[in-house]
């Protein structure tokens, strides 16, 4: 008989993982990107070039660049952040991490303890919400509108918490192409957010992982760049701009925070080869690659919105996002997307049910997040048709007579 490990597991572990049985036929989940837009030839050439020149430094932890990551990559990032986000930093202000998920873990590890409170956007990245829940941290959700996090609601929440002598450990926000809503916080709201954070003595945790994917290519200055109090921790990633499987992200933070996170990063450094290849590829090619990627993603989004309009009619409501790889869709109130998810998955269609992406389960029960980057145009069309058929059988939505074109900005 197999050894029984179950009595040895400590309390508080997450539920066991389900053994992977292959990807669904129509996968509208995850942060996957467009395989056709992956700069494969450029990455192959970069790998050959950098390995020929510096390959033997792989014999040293940190590639002789120190514990914060490959120096040439950090130097590239310092220039990119100045150019794109307005952040004035140097290589020593940047820590290379294993994707933005490790960045989340390091910031949480340095700042949070069980029983703490943080402020987040009401609709939010599932990976952030589940981490806070497992840590025993209370997440106070702030509603969003088409302009992003509502500043009136944030001010009210901060005042209410202060009246209870609760000081949030940070305000977590995805201000630039918010996940899952796709909104962008304008500079006016950013200034208000910084003013409120200063007034209440709360730092800001700025997740900027999607900012390269704004359709126009123009973005507001980052909160980090606008802050005069140096109270913003900024994170980003190459997962959406180059390739998610490379698992390379970064943190920009004051040394008081950086030194604490470095002490927690006990993995002897993030993947070195990935850092070397990215630095070699990105320095000459990043600014020409990303616009091509955006154009391809925008076309896929248009296919998704057209397919939803054709298959669901007015039953599917959504705003045309300003960038990114996902669409936040509202179905009629009688649709439970947690149940729809199960039925759709059995038919080969994977979606993200709204309650997993929100602090308010009732508000999000009829919402779903659809990621459009990875499926082909044909797969998007066919997958949405299958999803509409499943939804109609389960919830009577959409009605067959409702399949008419409608504007995508509803």
Same domain for 366 and 304? yes
**Average pLDDT, integer, range 83-103:** 96
Cis peptide bond N-terminal to 214, omega within 30: no
| Interval 19-35 mean pLDDT | 92
Q: Are residues 247 and 333 in the same domain?
A: no
Residue 88 domain-assigned (yes or no)? yes
User: Are 193 and 258 part of one and the same domain?
Assistant: yes
What local confidence, expressed as pLDDT, does residue 282 receive? 98
pTM for this one? Answer: 0.94
pLDDT in tens, 261-275: 999 999 999 999 999
Q: Where are the beta strands (DSSP E) in 319-406?
A: 326-330, 349-350, 352-353, 367-371
Q: Which of 253, 285, 317 is the last residue of a domain?
A: 285
Q: Give the three-state DSSP class for 27.
A: strand
What does the alpha-carbon distance between residue 126 and residue 159 come to, in Å, rounded to a whole number? 26
Asked whether residue 5 is domain-assigned, the answer is no
For the chain, give the mean pLDDT: 95
300 and 271 assigned to the same domain = no
The Cα–Cα gap between 154 and 388 comes to 36
Tell whether omega for the bond before 275 is within 30 degrees of 0, i.e. cis.
no
> Which structural domain range is residue 222 located in?
40-285
What radius of gyration do the chain's Cα atoms show? 22
**Bridge partners (DSSP) listed for residue 323:** 214
pLDDT at 82 over 60: yes
Q: DSSP characters for 252-306?
A: E--HHHHHHHHHH--SSSS-HHHHHHHHHHHHHHHHHHHHHHHHHHHHHHHHHHH
Q: Is residue 115 part of a domain?
A: yes
- Number of helices (H) and strands (E), helices first, in the chain? 12, 14
* Mean pLDDT in residue range 204-232: 96
Could you give the dihedral angle defined by the CA atoms of residues 281, 282, 287 and 293, in that order, rounded to the nearest 10 degrees? 70
339 and 394 housed in the same domain: yes
My answer on whether 107 and 54 are in the same domain is yes
In 3D space, the residue among 294, 300, 274, 397 whose CA is nearest the CA of residue 340 turns out to be 397
Interatomic CA distance for residues 143 and 32, integer angstroms: 27
Clarify whether residues 274 and 332 are in a common domain.
no
pLDDT at 3: 95
Q: What are phi and psi of 237, to 5 degrees?
A: -155, 155
Question: Is the dihedral angle over the CA atoms 81, 86, 91, 95 positive or is it negative?
Answer: negative
CA distance 77 to 90: 9
3-class secondary-structure state, position 56: helix
Q: Please work out, in degrees rounded to the nearest 5, the angle formed at the alpha carbon of residue 199 by the alpha carbons of 197 and 203.
A: 30
What CATH number is given to the structural domain containing 340? 3.90.1150.10
Same domain, 320 and 342: yes
Q: How far apart are CA 273 and CA 380, in angstroms?
A: 34
Q: Which two tokens stand for residue 130?
A: 């589940």
Last residue of a domain, one of 285, 301, 329: 285
Same domain, 242 and 356: no
Q: What domain count does the chain have? A: 2
Main-chain phi, psi angles of 376, to 5 degrees? -75, 170
Judge whether 221 lies within some domain: yes
Q: Rounded CA gap, 84 and 216, in Å?
A: 13
pLDDT in tens, 116-128: 999 999 999 999 9
Number of neighbouring beta carbons within 10 Å of residue 401: 7
pLDDT average, residue stretch 93-108 = 97
Quick one: 271 and 148 in the same domain? Answer: yes
CA separation for the pair 20, 361 (Å, rounded): 27
Q: What is the pLDDT of residue 407?
A: 41
State pLDDT tens for residues 240-257.
999 999 999 999 999 999
Assign 401 a pLDDT band (cuts: 50, 70, 90): low
Structure tokens at 169: 């450990």
Return all residues near 260 (Cβ < 8 A) that are at least 6 apart.
110
- Same domain flag for 189 and 272: yes
The verdict on 32 and 168 lying in the same domain is no
Q: Which of 234, 269, 285 is the last residue of a domain?
A: 285
| Per-residue pLDDT at 15 | 85
Residue 404 has pLDDT above 50, yes or no: no
């Amino acid at each position: 008989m197999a050894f029984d490990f179950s009595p040895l597991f400590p309390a508080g572990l997450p539920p066991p993982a389900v053994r992977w049985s292959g990807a669904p036929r129509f996968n509208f989940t995850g942060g996957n990107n467009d395989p056709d837009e992956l700069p494969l030839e450029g990455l192959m050439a970069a790998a050959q070039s950098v390995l020929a020149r510096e390959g033997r430094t792989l014999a040293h932890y940190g590639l002789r660049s120190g514990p914060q990551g490959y120096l040439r990559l950090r130097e590239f990032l310092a220039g990119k952040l100045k150019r794109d986000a307005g952040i004035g930093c140097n290589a020593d202000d940047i820590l290379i991490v294993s994707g933005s998920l490790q960045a989340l873990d390091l910031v949480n590890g340095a700042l949070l303890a069980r029983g703490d409170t943080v402020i987040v956007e009401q609709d939010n990245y599932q990976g952030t919400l589940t981490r806070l829940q497992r840590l025993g941290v209370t997440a106070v959700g702030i509603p969003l509108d088409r302009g992003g996090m509502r500043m009136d609601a944030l001010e009210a929440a901060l005042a209410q918490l202060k009246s209870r002598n609760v000081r949030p450990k940070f305000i977590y926000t995805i201000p630039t192409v918010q996940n899952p809503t796709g909104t962008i916080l304008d500079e006016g709201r950013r200034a208000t957010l910084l003013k409120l954070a200063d007034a209440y003595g709360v730092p800001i945790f700025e997740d900027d992982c999607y900012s390269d994917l704004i359709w126009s290519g123009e973005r507001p200055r980052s909160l980090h760049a606008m802050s005069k109090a140096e109270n913003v921790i900024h994170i980003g990633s190459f997962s959406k701009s180059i390739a998610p499987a490379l698992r390379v992200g970064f943190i920009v933070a004051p040394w008081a925070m950086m030194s604490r996170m470095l002490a927690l990063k006990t993995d002897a450094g993030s993947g070195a080869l990935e850092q070397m290849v990215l630095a070699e590829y990105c320095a000459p090619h990043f600014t020409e690659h990303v616009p091509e990627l955006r154009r391809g993603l925008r076309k896929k989004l248009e296919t998704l919105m057209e397919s939803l309009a054709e298959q669901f009619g007015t039953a599917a409501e959504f705003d045309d996002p300003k960038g990114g790889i996902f669409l936040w869709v509202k179905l009629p109130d009688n649709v439970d997307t947690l149940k729809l998810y199960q039925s759709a998955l059995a038919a080969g269609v994977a979606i993200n049910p709204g309650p997993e992406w929100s602090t308010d389960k009732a508000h999000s029960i009829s919402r779903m997040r659809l990621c459009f980057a990875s499926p082909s145009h044909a797969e998007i069309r066919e997958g949405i048709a299958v999803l509409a058929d499943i939804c109609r059988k389960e919830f009577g939505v959409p009605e067959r007579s409702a399949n008419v074109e409608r504007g995508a900005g509803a």
